[in-house]
Every structure is written in C-alpha cells, then in structure tokens.
Amino acid sequence: GQPGRTDAFAIDIGEWRAGIPMVFADFAVGNELAALAGATVRLKVDATLTLGTDHNVIAETRLGNPKNVVMVGAHLDSVPAGPGINDNGSGSAAILETALQMRNYPVRNKVRFAFWAAEEIGLLGSDQYVEGLTTAQRDRIRLYLNFDMVASPNYAYKLYDGDDSDAVGSPAGPPGSAQIEQQLARFFDRRGLGHVGTDFDGRSDYGPFIAVGIPAGGIFTGAEGIKTPAEQALFGGTAGVAYDVCYHQACDTISNPNLTAFDVNADAIADSTARYAFNTNAIP
C-alpha cells in the first residue's frame, strides 16, 4: 500500500493460528483471513487515518419487469498501491459497455448495473446495498452476476463454482447458482474454450448476495494464485507463475491486462446479461 496510508491500519486477529503474522497492512486481506479462520477481528485504526465517503453507482433499465431484476456488478475502486486496471477496471469497463450496448433493448426483465465502492476495504459498498434492501426488494432480485478481474495477464477462465462440481473446496451457492455457472460454461463451450471452477467463498461483491440466498455467479481470471500445469495446457500462459503478478501492485496499469481474455470475457458478460435480461426461467 501507499506508505503512510495502509500503515495506518493494523488488524489484530489473535485467534488466527500460529505462523501467520499478527498484524496486516491490508484491511481486506485481514478480513479474508479472519473470515477463513472464523476468527474475531479487532480493528485498530490509527488516528492519522481519514475515513472518506464513497458511493456506489447504480443504473437500471427503464424497461423490464421490476419484480424480476437481473443484477450485474463490478467494483470500481482499487487498492491505493496502483491504478487497478485489471482489478477492477476490467470488470467495470466490461459491464459499462454491456449497459451501453443494451440501452435500447426491449428487455423483459429489469437489468440493474452496480459499480460498487470500497470493495477493497471489505466489500463495503455491496454489503451496505444488500443490507439496505427491504425483504420485498431483495425477493425481486432474481440473480446477481459479478465481474472482478476478468483480464489477468496469465489468465484462466474461472467460473464461480455455484454447483460445487469442481472440487475447489467451497460450498455450493444458493439454488440457481449452479444454473448460472452452467450458462456461463456453455458460452465457453460454444467457443471451444476451456473453463475451470473457482472457490465460491465470498471474496468479492457477490458475497453479501449469496449470504442472503440470492443466486449468483461470475467470471474471474485469477489474482495472486499460481497457474497449474493443467491450466497452462487449457489456457496457455505460464504454469508456476501467478495469474496476475501485478495483483494489488503499482504495475496493474493499462499495460497489465491480457486483451484476449478481456475480449472473450466482455463477450461472455454481454451474452449472459442479455440472455437473463430476456429469460430467467432456468433460475428457480
């Protein structure tokens, strides 16, 4: 992080197991580790820190059934260390272009695009949005699609494992999540492109949605994890190297994203959004 800014955060997760440093410079990483451990997080915020205000940007189609809302989201913020072009300029740009291209579609369902604030400091924007919904508003959201990092330089086409069929260790998502994963998978299948599952563990803005039982899915091309030899065989790139070596770094600039992955995923995002805009019958 930026010197003098991330240093202002210290997270004490005393219940975390031995061997893990007790103080994290990164609020988001601390939250994730604590969530995995089921630990209690105590935040110590340094007096030099100034907490600001940020806003979600939400736009929805005028047309379409308001009782059957298709939500599509991407976080707009980045970490202080860098410009965040893959994380998450990529997802934000892809959903923005989808919204622009769809603007005159006679959609049957209402399509609501969310550009989330403050994902990197603990899913604050999406969490506040979901928390602020009435039960009736929540029930009208038929599904949520999330796009966070869709152009990683050493990419894999990873689909959130809503059906828990990919042995990646996370539980299945709410009913309907399996169908979303399968619809996204068909896009890659039709193009003769491989795809793999990825943990559906709440590490991005879909977390608050699945926590209240809203079916969700999405595409992810990998962050700090290491590409496997099997993934190299499927997608090319380099096994043994991180999917995005510039993840949360200053080098996540306009030269970081892989434009092949970005192009494919932008199409997959538009395809899935447009299909659900007209027909959500596959979602229970």
Closest CB to ligand PHE among 27 and 188?
A: 27
Residue closest to 248 by CA, chosen among 272, 269, 276, 224? 224
Using CB under 5 A, list all residues that contact Zn ion: 87-88, 148, 161, 163, 165-166, 181, 197
Q: Is 119 a catalytic residue?
A: yes
Which helix H or strand E contains 109, and what residues bound it?
A: strand 109-116
DSSP state of 179: H
Closest CB to ligand PHE among 179 and 204?
A: 204
Amino acid at 198: T
Residue closest to 71 by CA, chosen among 269, 242, 256? 269
DSSP state of 204: S
Task: Kindly state the smallest distance separating residue 223's Cβ from ligand PHE, in Å.
Answer: 5
Task: Kindly state the smallest distance separating residue 8's Cβ from ligand PHE, in Å.
Answer: 19
Amino acid at 68: N
Using CB under 6 A, list all residues that contact ligand PHE: 87, 119-120, 148-149, 203-204, 220, 223
Task: Kindly state the smallest distance separating residue 32's Cβ from ligand PHE, in Å.
Answer: 8
Q: Choose among ligand PHE, Zn ion, none what residue 2 binds, the Cβ cut-off being 5 to 8 Å by kind.
A: none
Closest CB to ligand PHE among 139 and 199?
A: 199
Task: Kindly state the smallest distance separating residue 75's Cβ from Zn ion, in Å.
Answer: 5
Closest CB to ligand PHE among 64 and 91?
A: 91
Are the C-beta atoms of 231 and 60 separated by less than 8 Å?
Answer: no
> C-alpha distances in angstroms, 262 versus 20, 72, 79, 95?
35, 17, 21, 12
Question: How far apart (Å, rounded) are the C-alpha atoms in residues 77 and 146?
Answer: 14
User: 15, 32, 60, 119: which is the annotated catalytic residue?
Assistant: 119
Q: Choose among Zn ion, ligand PHE, none what residue 203 binds, the Cβ cut-off being 5 to 8 Å by kind.
A: ligand PHE
Catalytic residue IDs = 119
